[in-house]
Amino acid sequence: MERTTGKLLIVGFGPGSFEHITKRAKEAIQESDIVIGYNTYVDLIRGLLSEQQVVRTGMTEEVSRAQEAVRQAEAGRVVAVISSGDAGVYGMAGLVYEVLMERGWRRETGVAVEIIPGISAINSTASLLGAPVMHDACTISLSDHLTPWRVIERRVEAAASADFVIALYNPRSGRRTRQIVETQRIVLKYRSAQTPVGIVKSAYRDRQDVVITTLGEMLEHDIGMLTTVIIGNSATSVYEGLMITPRGYQRKYTLGADVQPLRPHERLRTEAEPWALETVGVTEQDAGSEEAGWDEDGETLERLAADREGSEARRTEAVSGSWLAAEPAGHNALRRQTVGIAPSPAKAAAASASPLSLALEALRLVDASRGVATAEQGQGVDGGRAAAAFRQEAIFEFTVSPGLANKKLSAGQMMLLAEIVGDAGELEYTPHHQFIVRLRTDDPDAATGRLREAGFTLAPIGDVVQIKACDFCNMEKAESVPYLERLGAGLGGAKVPKELRIGFNGCGMACYGAVNEDIGIVYRRGKFDLFLGGKTVGRNAHAAQPVAEGIEPEALVPTIERIVARFRAEGHPNERFHKFFKRVKELEGYRQQDLPVFAIDNAVCGD
């Protein structure tokens, strides 16, 4: 069969203003022979029409509109079917395909179909509210015209419980008034009444109205068929009359860290939140490429439930130059993050193109042109007011163990740990003789005090010195333990460019694998053997290089302290100790030597 010359152009013309219709959408309307659309829309695009025949239908006659469009195209004509927003979002695109499917249409031989994307209401309304979408979001149409209410209800429930930002399309009409009330009731089961809600009517049209309110009070505002309602997630807040949902990085802090819950202008700085934006643009393709100086170990960031204080703001803006003022179509249709740690200097170029650095650069340029001091200078942001509106709960994390040498937990300790962690916290069993504890708390001292009292050893998490010892054969070979304790007191938990594990074993058997750590210390015949630069992970992992035998006991701790001090002073951010040793070639007079290794490529995390 010959392909017909007919063509279906399914055009989304965006929210309503001429500026927000795409070039291709304009062209498509102009190149069509016939334009089919809901009455009001046709009136609205009249300025773009020349010779086109126009087929107008009522709002609820979508199926007949789609059938007419297909018939005309099959008769050889170029037909533009117009939808507001995006034609594929509660628009005409799916209906047209349904009609084509019913008629046995084939891509190869049937009429050509082109779907021309437009800016959907979730995007246009979000842009007027601030940045409420930002993170995982969904759209739900509350119209039960084509979808049974029980289906819609279930979706609202699922979205609310999973903490999605929710954009409600078709929230209410003259006849359908219950759905939005029910929706509010369901969402309130999962979110605070203070959750920010944005209500935008006629985005980018003449009678545009933008309201920011709360979940508890949303029904006190005008909501109709021209409105999209955006319900924030548990981390969304209001700042300067704008609704903002954070990108979702969970903030964590650990023992002894000065990083306590941050104020908004303090967030997203690498030093405060090393897991933040800096790495994301790169890590998705490059996660763990160790050769490039990145960490092999990804870090899973979970969602953060936030406590925030709502505020209400109302803005009404008239958009000049709007060319549409319409009722949209009233139909319906059904519907752990891994990042690396901070980049190394080698990645500076990539990092300079990160979302954070671009955003900071843009702010700097705007501020410079307005003669405004920047936040760095302490004047750019009203920190006090912002802090009140933008509070994020933080996760407090640290490690616990029964001691450096002691590997046994008592039942009482286990019970205390279980009680402190509770259902809301998390206890992770690690390969390093310790548990990681994660708590949602802003009173860390209460928990840590009780754990210490019960005999636990606590240590911070992150890029710190971690000391891993053996059990000294149940403390039967304990002569070297005082040196272990001195090392622990002097270096345990100290900040370093990259996490550093020091293995300490009490006899030549080294059965706890000290020689496989970054630094290995083995006690033997009254003296210490030293091993430097193990590669602890990866397919090409290798033991540390033996650099000294028979170090006098009194010399051990100062030697290790000097080595660590050099790593702290000269190590690049995120540089593993074995790479550092290789780069500086010598530590305490011990020369680095390349060990014979099997030729095997390294692999990245998850590979």
Min dist CB 331 to ligand SAH, Å, is 7
Q: How far apart are CA 255 and CA 257, in angstroms?
A: 5
- Nearer to ligand SAH by Cβ, of 126 and 257: the residue is 126
- Nearer to ligand SAH by Cβ, of 165 and 268: the residue is 165
Question: Where do we find the tokens 């014979």?
Answer: 596
Residue with the closest Cβ to ligand SAH? 85
Min dist CB 139 to ligand SAH, Å, is 8
Min dist CB 310 to ligand SAH, Å, is 22
- Nearer to ligand SAH by Cβ, of 203 and 544: the residue is 203
The end-to-end CA distance of the chain, in Å, is 49
Cα dihedral 216→217→221→223 (10° resolution):
0
- Nearer to ligand SAH by Cβ, of 184 and 536: the residue is 184
Q: What are phi and psi of 569, to 5 degrees?
A: -80, -35
Number of residues written out for the chain: 607
Min dist CB 443 to ligand SAH, Å, is 44
Min dist CB 194 to ligand SAH, Å, is 24
Question: Where do we find the tokens 């090392």?
Answer: 487
Query: Which of 236, 250, 245, 242 has its CA nearest to residue 211?
Result: 242
- Nearer to ligand SAH by Cβ, of 226 and 257: the residue is 226
And the tokens for 497?
């460019």
Query: Which of 339, 335, 338 has its CA nearest to residue 137?
Result: 335
Min dist CB 216 to ligand SAH, Å, is 21
SS (H, E, C) 393-413: CCEEEEEEECCCCCCCCCHHH
Check: CB of residue 59 under 8 Å from CB of residue 41: no
- Nearer to ligand SAH by Cβ, of 127 and 413: the residue is 127
Min dist CB 143 to ligand SAH, Å, is 8
What amino acid is encoded at 132 in this protein? P
Min dist CB 238 to ligand SAH, Å, is 20
Min dist CB 15 to ligand SAH, Å, is 4
Question: CB 83: neighbour CB atoms within 10 A?
Answer: 29
**CA 81, 85, 88 angle in degrees (round to 5)?**
65
Min dist CB 411 to ligand SAH, Å, is 59
3-state secondary structure of 345: helix
- Nearer to ligand SAH by Cβ, of 124 and 237: the residue is 124
- Nearer to ligand SAH by Cβ, of 203 and 437: the residue is 203
3-state secondary structure of 584: helix
Query: Which of 84, 114, 106 has its CA nearest to residue 15?
Result: 84
Min dist CB 37 to ligand SAH, Å, is 12
Min dist CB 170 to ligand SAH, Å, is 4
Min dist CB 118 to ligand SAH, Å, is 7
Query: Which of 548, 553, 562 has its CA nearest to residue 483?
Result: 553
Min dist CB 32 to ligand SAH, Å, is 19
Check: CB of residue 127 under 8 Å from CB of residue 200: no
Residues with Cβ < 8 Å from 55, sequence gap 6 or more?
A: 34, 35, 36, 37, 65, 68, 72
- Nearer to ligand SAH by Cβ, of 183 and 448: the residue is 183
Min dist CB 72 to ligand SAH, Å, is 22
Check: CB of residue 19 under 8 Å from CB of residue 321: yes
Distances in Å between the Cα of 358 and the Cα atoms of 72, 164, 211, 350 are 49, 27, 30, 11
CA atoms within 13 A on the CB side of 260: 8
Burial readout 287-301 (b: 16 or more C-beta within 10 A, e: otherwise): bbbbeebbbbebbeb
- Nearer to ligand SAH by Cβ, of 63 and 381: the residue is 63
Q: How far apart are CA 462 and CA 464, in angstroms?
A: 6
3-state secondary structure of 238: strand
- Nearer to ligand SAH by Cβ, of 86 and 273: the residue is 86
- Nearer to ligand SAH by Cβ, of 91 and 310: the residue is 91
The secondary structure of residue 118, as a DSSP letter, is -
- Nearer to ligand SAH by Cβ, of 224 and 553: the residue is 224
SS (H, E, C) 477-535: CCCCHHHHHHHHHHHCCCECCCCEEEEEECCCCCCCCHHHCCEEEEEECCEEEEEECCE
- Nearer to ligand SAH by Cβ, of 85 and 506: the residue is 85
- Nearer to ligand SAH by Cβ, of 35 and 235: the residue is 35
Q: What are phi and psi of 299, to 5 degrees?
A: -130, 125
What amino acid is encoded at 196 in this protein? P
Which positions lie near ligand SAH, rule CB under 6 A?
Answer: 15-16, 83-86, 89-91, 120-121, 124-125, 169-170, 200, 202-205, 225-228, 328-329
